[in-house]
Amino acid sequence: MNELTSSQRKLLSAAAQNIKPVVQIGQNGLTDGVTAKVEQSLAAHELIKIKFIDFKEEKKELAGQLCVSCNAVLVRIIGNIAVLYRPAENKEDRSYGIVFD
């Protein structure tokens, strides 16, 4: 997936302020179940938050791995929460108007 421009990142960061984390990374780390939940959440919502309960030191690497496996882009990491974005497959379902060619 392509990188976000600063204006796209700003738009998505503002939109992410009002959402709650839908996935938590706990003591078992990045499992297949966590990856499947992230994939499912991105398909349903486009923009999600992931909270790191454990593995806080590795959050950048783990968020990067999730982005690669789910074809998403990392918007931002704030504290122990990562914000991920993947545009909806169907153009009519896109909420944020960001399109990658």
pLDDT value of residue 35: 94
- Helix or strand run (H / E) with residue 12: helix 6-16
Q: Report pLDDT digits (tens) over 33-54.
A: 999 999 999 998 999 999 999 8
Residues of the chain with confidence (pLDDT) below 70: 1, 93-94, 97-101
pLDDT value of residue 89: 80
- Domains detected in the chain: 6-88 (3.30.110.60)
Backbone angles phi, psi at 96, to 5 degrees: -110, -5
pLDDT value of residue 16: 93
CA distance 67 to 73: 6
Q: What is the DSSP string of 29-98?
A: -S-HHHHHHHHHHHHHHSEEEEEESS-GGGHHHHHHHHHHHHT-EEEEEETTEEEEE---SSGGG-SS--
pLDDT value of residue 1: 56
pLDDT value of residue 88: 82
